[in-house]
Amino acid sequence: MARVTSDNTKEYLESFLPEENSFVLKAKAEARRWQKDQISLSAYEAHLVCFFIRQFRCVRFIELGTLAGYSALKILESLPTEGHLWTFELNSERAQFASALFDEAGYKGRYTIIVGRAEEQLATIVAEAPFDGIFIDANKSSYPFYLDWSLKHLKPGGLLLADNTLMAGVADTHSPHPEKMIRELRAFNQELFQNPGLEAVILPTMEGLAVGVKRFS
Which chain residues interact with ligand SAM by CB under 6 A?
Answer: 39-41, 65, 67, 70-71, 88-91, 94, 117-119, 137-139, 142
Backbone angles phi, psi at 207, to 5 degrees: -90, -25
Question: Shortest Cβ distance from residue 190 to ligand SAM (Å)?
Answer: 22
Sign of CA dihedral 181, 182, 185, 187: negative
Q: Which is nearer to ligand SAM, 25 or 156 (CB)?
A: 25
Give the DSSP H/E element, type plus range, for residue 93: helix 92-104
Task: Could you list the beta-strand ranges (E) of 56-144.
Answer: 60-64, 84-89, 111-115, 131-136
Q: Which is nearer to ligand SAM, 161 or 202 (CB)?
A: 161
Question: Shortest Cβ distance from residue 137 to ligand SAM (Å)?
Answer: 4
196 closest CA partner among 211, 213, 208, 209? 213
Q: Which is nearer to ligand SAM, 42 or 189 (CB)?
A: 42
Question: Shortest Cβ distance from residue 95 to ligand SAM (Å)?
Answer: 9
Nearby residues of 24 by Cβ (< 8 Å), 6 or more positions away: 70, 73, 74
Q: Which is nearer to ligand SAM, 142 or 189 (CB)?
A: 142
Question: Shortest Cβ distance from residue 216 to ligand SAM (Å)?
Answer: 29
Q: Which is nearer to ligand SAM, 117 or 152 (CB)?
A: 117
- Using Cβ positions, the residue closest to ligand SAM within the complex turns out to be 65
Measured between its terminal Cα atoms, the distance across the chain in Å is: 34
Question: Shortest Cβ distance from residue 89 to ligand SAM (Å)?
Answer: 5
